[in-house]
Amino acid sequence: MHPDIRLATERDIPALTELWQTCFPDSKEYIEFFYRENFDRMSVPVLSLDEKPIGMIHLMEASFAQGAEAYPVRFVYAVGMHPAYRGQGLMKNLLGSVTRSAEEKGCGLFLKPSQELIPFYESAGFVLDSSFRLFRTTPEAKSGGSLSLSPLSAADYNRLRNISFSGRPYVRWPDAHVQWAVDENAFCGGQTLSFSLDGRIHFLMGYPSDGVLHITETDLSCDQLRSIAFPLCTFFGTTSLEALFPEDACPEGEAVVSSLVFHAPVRSTYANLLLF
């Protein structure tokens, strides 16, 4: 029987969870958490065989914003094919249906690729859009003084985020996505915070792992982040920190692909909060 392409429904969630576990190393607890919070705001095209998904692509609504203009895009996430059906061109067919639909609807697509899959997505018409630099620092003992950190709600985070990044092309997320990013960060033991520095209110989302504070996003510059590295590391119980900055905003650090885009009306877009 030939697989067919359809949109997943809630009754497919158990099969999608099983397929996710086959494709990715995430725990069942995380996957169930992900679907519980996000399924009703996504579309999930699947390749189905005998009614059971064997391939999947998750699509989330966003916008590429530039000045007063905003263009509809979809974030492509958790693209997976059951190992038994790989190497047959089936995922290329599923992805092709997604790109054709995006063109027909006048909607862009973007994704955060692993390095080894960049050629696959390029063969499907995606192109490199922008890169990050991975900034790392180990603070000097007791440098930077004290810092008053306060919990920040997802709605307030998104409001500050939109103000901060409005001067450049960036991915604008609906509040529901930012809520998920905050919840996912908390799931990983992290916090989403606000604080005052240089007379302004700033924001930061991050989580500790193996002695390193991984900063998912902040509006600080590299130099500002370095200046408060000690109180931040002390607060999170780490000895060093790392953060991703747009390549044009950070002169140091390893370059990392930020996003690939398809049919995108805006280029060189700051793309973050792309999930773990």
Percentage, residues of the chain above pLDDT 70: 98
Residue 246's φ and ψ, nearest 5 degrees, are: -55, 140
Q: Are 135 and 222 in contact (CB under 8 A)?
A: yes
The pLDDT assigned to 2 comes to 79
Contacts of 272 (CB under 8 A, 6+ apart): 171, 216, 217, 244, 258
Of 10, 12, 110, whose CA–CA distance to 55 is shortest? 12
d(CA 137, CA 212): 10
- CA distances 119 to 111, 124, 125, 192, Å, are 13, 9, 10, 35
Q: Are 274 and 130 in contact (CB under 8 A)?
A: no
**Over residues 127-145, mean pLDDT:** 86
Kindly state the helix (H) or strand (E) to which residue 39 belongs, with its residue range: none
pLDDT by residue (tens digit) across 243-257?
Answer: 999 988 888 889 988
Q: Is the predicted pLDDT of residue 97 greater than 90, yes or no?
A: yes
Set out the domains of the chain in order of their start, with CATH numbers.
4-130+258-262 (3.40.630.30), 132-256 (3.40.630.30)
Contacts of 65 (CB under 8 A, 6+ apart): 71, 162, 166, 169, 170, 171, 172, 266
d(CA 174, CA 168): 18
pLDDT by residue (tens digit) across 193-214?
Answer: 999 998 999 999 999 999 999 9
Query: How far is C-alpha 156 from the chain's CA centre?
Result: 19
Q: What is the maximum alpha-carbon separation in the chain?
A: 67
- CA distances 239 to 200, 216, 221, 229, Å, are 26, 17, 20, 9
- pTM of the complete model: 0.94
d(CA 238, CA 141): 12
Q: Is the predicted pLDDT of residue 117 greater than 90, yes or no?
A: yes
* Stronger pLDDT, 114 or 182, i.e. the higher one: 182
d(CA 7, CA 46): 6
Instruction: State the amino acid at position 81 in one-letter form.
Output: M
CA atoms lying within 13 Å on the CB side of residue 226: 9
Q: Are 236 and 136 in contact (CB under 8 A)?
A: no
**Over residues 167-188, mean pLDDT:** 96
Q: Is the predicted pLDDT of residue 43 greater than 80, yes or no?
A: yes
